[in-house]
Amino acid sequence: LGTSTATGVKIVTVSAGGLQTAFTVTVLPDALAGIELTALPAKRTYVLGETLDLAGLRVNAVYASGAKAQISAYAVDGFDGSRAGVQTVTVFYRGFSKTFTVTVSASSAATVNTGSSSLNVRSAPSLTASIVGTFAAGTRVEVLSREGEWTKVRGTTAAGTTLTGYCYTEYLLFD
């Protein structure tokens, strides 16, 4: 007997002892039974004004047969970057939903914590991005956003210049 996962009408032929018969079978599509979140977004902590970043989110469709398939045609709702607090984000797909939470906080402050050396401020969250300036140890900075190991900050340099850019998070002491 061959197997087929294609939907539609199939003709099945059975032979035994020199006899043969055929009948039709209708193969229905596997019914969607739900969805599951197999990986949450990498970013789940936000500062007011940021937009939702779903990078890293993995969603599977779960079928009645137990089969699973990763999907990307889902919708999300529930995030408001203008409202501080814990928020429930809902992922929707064909009548099914799952949720996860994110936290949006008011912009916060931090202190450059490098010992006696200065902290490089970069144009983008990468060690290969250009250095746009430095903050001296002990400088207070406003935290604008956090992106993994990097934090976007704004502060005043020792020379009195306002500087905005990215610093490696481990060198900041958060309030």
Tens digits of per-residue pLDDT, 108-132? 889 999 988 999 999 999 999 999 9
pLDDT of residue 9: 87
Tell me the C-alpha distance between 152 and 161, whole Å. Answer: 17
* Positions in the chain short of pLDDT 70: 1-5, 107
pLDDT of residue 7: 76
Which tokens in the block code for residue 124? 């983008």
pLDDT of residue 1: 46
Which tokens in the block code for residue 74? 């889902």
pLDDT of residue 2: 54
Exposed / middle / buried, residue 30 (Cβ in 10 Å: 0-12, 13-18, 19+): middle
The C-alpha angle 102, 103, 106, rounded to 5 degrees, equals 150
Tell me the C-alpha distance between 125 and 103, whole Å. Answer: 21
CB neighbourhood size of 160 (10 A): 6
Return the bridge partners of 124, or none. none
Which tokens in the block code for residue 22? 């055929």
